[in-house]
Amino acid sequence: MVAFHEDPGPGSGRRAARADFRSDAPRLSLNGRWRFLLSGTADGTGPTLPDPELDDSGWETIRVPSHWVLEGHDQPRYTNTAYPFPIDPPYLPDDNPTGDYRLRFDLPPDWPAGRSVLRYQGVDSCGTVWLNGELLGHSKGSRLPFEFDVTGLVRPRGNLLAVRVQRWSSGSYLEDQDMWWLPGIFRDVELLSRPEGGIDDFTVRASHDGTLLVTADVPGIVEIPELGLTVPTGQSVTLDGVEPWSAEHPRLYRGTLSAAGERIELAIGFRTVEISGGRLLVNGVPVLFRGVNRHEHDPERGRSLDRDTMIRDIELMKRHNVNAVRTAHYPPHPEFLRLCDEYGLWVVDECDIETHGFIYAGWEGNPPDEPMWREALLDRTRRMVERDKNHPSVVVWSLGNESGSGAAFADIENWIRRRDPTRPLHYERDPSYRHSDFHSLMYPSLDDLERIGQRKEDPPEGVTPGSDEDVRRRGLPFLLCEYAHAMGNGPGSLSDYQAILESYERFCGAFVWEWIDHGLSGRDSQGRPYYRHGGDIDAQPNGERYCLDGLLFPDRTPSPGLAELRKAIEPVGFDVSGGSVIITNKYDMVDLGHLSFRWWVEVDGVPVERLTGTLEVPRCGARERVRVPLPRFGAGSAGEGETWVTIEAVLTAATRWAQAGHVVAWTQVRLATGTHRRPARLSLPAAPTPPDDALPPTTAVAVLPGVGWVGAEHEQPFVRVGAAEFDGRTGRLKRIGELELDGPVLDVWRAPTENDRGQGPRNALAADWEAVGLDRFLHRSGGIERPDDHTLVVRGRSGPATRTLGFRTTFTYRWRDGALHLQIDADPVGDWLDTAYGHLSVSPPRMGARFTLPGGYTDVTWFGRGPEESYTDSRAAARVGRFTSSIDALQTPYVVPQENGNHVETRRLEVSGPGLATLRVDGEPHLDFTARRWTSETLQAARRPHDLTDSGRVWLNLDHGQQGLGSASCGPALPERYRVPVRRHSWSMTLAVVD
């Protein structure tokens, strides 16, 4: 006999799947502390587990719901695509940690005598259940509910519920999602009284035209008081004047469904989903999902989330303009969908099916293509659809993720279409898209996405151009189910993607990968807290850091990437020209009546009194635009300096998810015609490269007329220009008046981001950089010249050992008007098209100048983009203004330390510290700056944020620029235009000491 856990079938003894609902029937939560014992094999503690007489007083206890690996038993495991067991379906290794659970419980005194049902909302990976010694059955499908009828078995007092949970089961072959393997009874356990004449299941069909049909397994009455409606089940009615449900206006009609023995709470949303003319329409109009992929994750509780955490997720999504969720890659806790109905989010509900690891078997034996698994796959589909069918928020069913193709998908498709013809189906991985109502891909490049928008994409491999399949796919709407891999610092290009998504009718939206970093709370040997990733667990295989790819840090602190997403997808567009602004309503359903528009003027980042007000915006319907005259901002009267007007669209009244005044969208426009024009993107100005012979040989310091010698004999000679002092040998700046500093040296390095590292050998820029030595430049002073009393020219060459490549540098200092002007010219030399590595053509991650300051410096103030960090392809969220921060607060604590805290387009920077002279730097026109208490090298070497400790100096970069962030950790290469080209770079700044 096949052991249950290895039987490919889905379960036995279970009740039919049905809707999840709230009713007035009594319900007893069985959550709490259960007896628990973990064993090493599938037999668990043996055959006595269900025996009510068994003395379990020596067992440990465990909280239910939870994952035992997060409650001090065994270890969590993380793999991305790999199965942590041999591909030997449907079998599992003998080593199979198995949790045996026991709970004694009594019924409340008033528990009705009728039928009772025991419900599990989620058990990972499978469960066998006994009540009072009797086997009820078993089930697989970790993120789906199952129920047993326990009528006649459950008794008023002294019940003994026993559950055996194997960590690995045949079900695990269908659950190879990129996430932690977290076994246990991790969702609620309940006992439900099922009254005589109660309702077992019901289906709501409510269209945006007011048509309503509720069917149930027993006759009942539907009542919706605010519509004055009383109608029997099975009878369709069309109601006048209902407001449709949408994510933007989640209008729910509360009511009841009553049968003889039970009253169910209804929360009906009238809405219609259809595909028409190659577009996705909801309520008759096109929609654009501004979505995220959400795993259930909490650093302490894993996938065992409480309701407050679900609400927190939804509030954060709504506040960041996210309007859609793909429940990657399994149905969430049912409460989450109830909350989506209430708060308003479009949901792509995805089935708990992923067989990704079969990639290592060349997809040989892939379960969807093997009859043995058909029932298990269909079972999962049924349980999702039946459970979630009444949620207006659920607008698309997704058949699963990354499971190749196979005949089972046809069965799944047919079953859903018969059961629920009201929602379209999504499946991404079958290149024929035969079972999908959407064309869909993951991580296309911008160019590929553009072609898809035009319905001009290359057909997937194996599909003949012009074939029926090709033509059908081209006619489908496109849903970008994953893009913008948010691993570490990034993603870049969110605005670029959004611009394309908003440009073509074919697109119905996109879902960033992913919502939250799956870091788990841990402590190191010294007791310091940190977030664990796969590599922090001593087990192979493991997917290392790949679980840290969210827009939220593990503790739900928004990352800069989420701020950027919020700006990129904001639902209001502004286009200021002449004396007016064209306001574009990018909502799909609602007008702009809920927003107020306020403006103010700042000069050099300082608000100008009286130059502030509100705009009167006439009615502007969904997807419409209005032109609004702008007041005369009085730029002329504002005074000298860079003058910017900021316009914000804010919530007029509080909503469920944000306060009145919450900023939904904004824009900024420069008013005065300044001397500087910002380049739209990082485009470092090109200058001709002089021949490679201009560098004089290394010389002893050329002591030139006017050089002042300082210090005692035998000490380093110093060179003075105005109030600036230089090391006479290296030419490095050491002092400006009272201010002590050191630098600059040419800096082409940054601590690689996850996206710099690419994916395996793909787009592995950091590996190429390291191969040619960009991480280990050595510097040679090439001589100092003093053309006149106020000028110092310091030449040098920087490059790595073993290579010819590098940059020849010229630092030209001029003392004028009590400040030190610095011009930096860097010219590439040597072989950048690596000969030994043939294929390498590297470009540096940074073109910068590194200084240090004494450790007593603590704060910065700057005029430029802020307050969050910004990069050339992730700068939309950073507005132009004046910002102040401590140096410590400039650091973004990515779970794995990497480059962070850059600020593009900085016009002016001041660095100060108690008792120290303040350094002021003016860019010409702009600089990128970073300031930190450690070097890029230390940042790179750190494994955890707490490895970073104060070096005793402040490391200040005043850079020409850095390359963008991209999202190449899983996705396309960084576009050329965001790289730092290998050519002459020149930039300049003025350094001054201020009080």
* Footprint of ligand IPT (CB under 6 A): 80, 177-178, 329, 401-402, 442-443, 482, 485, 513, 546, 549, 970
Is residue 927 a contact partner of residue 909, using CB atoms and an 8 Å limit?
yes
CB of residue 177 vs ligand IPT: minimum separation in angstroms? Answer: 6
In the complex with ligand IPT, the residue whose CB is nearer, 263 or 295, is 295
Task: Pick between residue 482 and residue 517 the one whose CB is nearest to ligand IPT.
Answer: 482
Instruction: Give the contacts of 718 (CB within 8 A, at least 6 positions apart).
Output: 708, 709, 710, 711, 725, 726, 727, 728, 734
Q: How far is the CB of 756 from ligand IPT (least distance, A)?
A: 16
**Closer residue to ligand IPT in complex, CB, 330/811:** 330
| For ligand IPT, the closer CB: 520 or 826 | 520
> How many other C-beta atoms are found inside a 10 Å radius of the C-beta of residue 708?
11
Smallest distance, ligand IPT to C-beta of residue 81, A: 7
CB 6 within 8 A of CB 138: no
Euclidean distance between CA atoms 952 and 939, whole angstroms: 15
Q: Which is closer to ligand IPT, CB of 8 or CB of 400? A: 400
Q: In this complex, which beta carbon is closest to ligand IPT, that of residue 753 or of residue 962?
A: 753
Phi, psi dihedral angles at 340 (to 5 degrees): -65, -40
Nearer to ligand IPT among residue 513 and residue 832 (C-beta): 513
Nearer to ligand IPT, 488 or 845 (CB): 488
Of the pair 247, 441, the CB lying nearest ligand IPT is at 441
Q: Give the whole-angstrom CA distance, residue 826 versus residue 806.
A: 9
Q: Which long-range contacts (CB under 8 A, 24 or more apart) does 705-712 make?
A: 705/786, 706/786, 706/789, 707/786
Q: How far is the CB of 331 from ligand IPT (least distance, A)?
A: 15
Q: How far is it, in rounded angstroms, from Cα 539 to Cα 86?
A: 15
Helix axes 307-319, 334-343, angle to 10 degrees: 40
Under 8 Å between Cβ of 334 and 303: no
CB-based contact 69:75 (threshold 8 Å): yes
Distance separating alpha carbons of residues 24 and 889, to the nearest angstrom: 51
For residues 978 and 872, the answer to whether their CB atoms sit within 8 Å is yes
**Separation in Å, CA 351 to CA 177, 396, 497:** 11, 11, 27
- Beta carbon nearer to ligand IPT, 562 or 622: 562
What three-state secondary structure class fits 165? strand
Minimum Å gap between C-beta 486 and ligand IPT is 9
| Residue tagged 């100048």 (tokens) | 849
Q: How far is the CB of 359 from ligand IPT (least distance, A)?
A: 8
Sequence-ordered list of residues with C-beta below 8 angstroms from that of 308, at least 6 positions apart, any chain:
none
Residues in contact with 501: Cβ distance below 8 Å, sequence separation at least 6, in sequence order: 288, 449, 453, 480, 507, 509, 510
The structure tokens 């201009």 sit at 694
Output 546 or 633, the one with its CB closest to ligand IPT: 546
C-beta of 902: minimal distance to ligand IPT in Å?
24
Rounded distance between C-alpha atoms, residue 898 and residue 787, angstroms: 42
Phi-psi region of 641 (alpha: psi -120 to 50; beta: other; left: phi over 0): left
Q: How far is the CB of 575 from ligand IPT (least distance, A)?
A: 35
The three-state DSSP-derived secondary structure of 891-904 is CCCCCCCCCCCCEE
Instruction: Indicate which residues carry an active-site annotation.
Output: 402, 482
* Cis amide bond preceding 696, omega within 30: no
Q: Distance between CA 304 and CA 429 in Å, rounded?
A: 28
CB 544 to ligand IPT: min, Å: 12
Beta carbon of residue 513, minimum distance to ligand IPT (angstroms, whole number): 5
Q: In this structure, is the dihedral angle defined by the CA atoms of residues 782, 784, 785 and 791, taken in order, positive or negative?
A: positive
Least Cβ distance, residue 966 to ligand IPT (angstroms): 15
Cα–Cα distance, 182 to 189 (Å, whole number): 17
Residue number, nearest CB to ligand IPT: 178
Contact (CB, 8 A) for 785 and 807: no
> What are the residues whose beta carbons fall under 8 Å from the beta carbon of 755, sequence distance 6 or more?
485, 487, 488, 489, 490, 491, 492, 965, 966, 967, 968, 969, 974
